Amino acid sequence: MKAAPFAYVRPGTVQDVVAELARDGAKVLAGGQSLVPVLAMRLGRPSTLVDINAVPELDRLSRDNGSIRVGATVRQRRLQRDDLSASVPLLRLALPWIGHREIRSRGTVCGSIAHADPAAELPAVASCLDATMLLTSTRGQRQIAAAEFFTGALTTVIEPDELLTEVLFPVAGPGEGFGFGEFARRHGDFALAGAAVRVRTTGDALQARVTCFGISDQPVTADVTAQLRAALAEVGPSPTGSQLRRGLAERADEVAADVVDTSGDGHASTAYRRRLVAGLLAREVSRAYLTSTSASEVSAS
């Protein structure tokens, strides 16, 4: 099947992009890795494609005020390979899981977040870190926190006339540790289930949160501080990875039962996804905790 006819424009400034998006039926074209298949299958029929790749200011990748700022045309592979991403370790852990190198070379970070596939890695990372999205239209700019951004499968708060100009990922602070894992049938496939984890240990304070993906119509974030605290009370404050995983196992089952709310599909049943999520949670929360304690030792010395 071929795409339905559409007009194609390639503006050179953000101002011109948003002027084009203000017209009925216009759609942003970034890396095209999700949009082009949608067009080819005629699942979407935009009247105009607004190609944003000729706008120099959208290609910026920078560090500013405790965040990494990723512009709308920055490719996933560029972020993966840039030294800046080392200051957001969760991105470093997650990016290699996206499709294949060729996909990451064309696909943009903002495009993945705007597309909001429930099984995609970057929306989960954005949710776990509470990243900020910057939206621009002819009406002005607005900033949206990840917790308010994703509203359902392939759906966000982006209005048809808005461009996601930048995503701001907070850089990791002292005493923070991260974990990321997913299960897919083959490497490069979308995940059947996955989990992104951030643990913060500063002095006596402990905070652990997990964002699961592939298990609902959007990323689901849960606070698992109580579960981690209870497991540590059982296994002691300086456990090995396997001791902590065992301590977390039953508690991870309970969290998985809460967060997995897909009714199952041709790829996996609900029960199977719950088992996957429980295993991922125990493993990645444990990994994130152990990294966070070594990160706080380093920052204290």
Exactly one of 3, 84, 103, 249 binds ligand FAD (CB under 6 A); which one? Answer: 103
Exactly one of 17, 18, 26, 28 binds ligand FAD (CB under 6 A); which one? Answer: 28
**Least Å from the CB of residue 106 to ligand FAD:** 6
Name the residue nearer to ligand FAD (CB basis): 72 or 244.
Answer: 72
Name the residue nearer to ligand FAD (CB basis): 105 or 207.
Answer: 105
Name the residue nearer to ligand FAD (CB basis): 158 or 252.
Answer: 158
Measure the CA–CA gap between 282 and 301, rounded to whole angstroms.
Answer: 29
**Least Å from the CB of residue 144 to ligand FAD:** 12
Site for ligand FAD in 68-97 (CB under 6 A): 72
**Least Å from the CB of residue 250 to ligand FAD:** 31
Taking CB under 6 A as the binding criterion, the range among 1-9, 109-117, 204-212, 279-287 that sits at the site for ligand FAD is: 109-117
Binding-site size for ligand FAD (CB under 6 A) equals 28
**Least Å from the CB of residue 175 to ligand FAD:** 29
Does 247 bind ligand FAD (CB under 6 A)? Our answer is: no
Measure the CA–CA gap between 216 and 171, rounded to whole angstroms.
Answer: 27
Does 114 bind ligand FAD (CB under 6 A)? Our answer is: yes
The two three-digit tokens of residue 123, written as one number? 């929306």
Site for ligand FAD in 150-179 (CB under 6 A): 158, 163-164
The two three-digit tokens of residue 190, written as one number? 């979308």
Exactly one of 98, 133, 167, 231 binds ligand FAD (CB under 6 A); which one? Answer: 98
Closest-CB residue for ligand FAD?
107
Q: Which residues are CB-contacts of 184 (< 8 A; sequence separation ≥ 6)?
A: 97, 190, 191, 192
Question: Footprint of ligand FAD on this chain (CB under 6 A)?
Answer: 27-35, 72, 98-99, 103, 107-108, 110-112, 114-115, 117, 120-122, 158, 163-164, 190
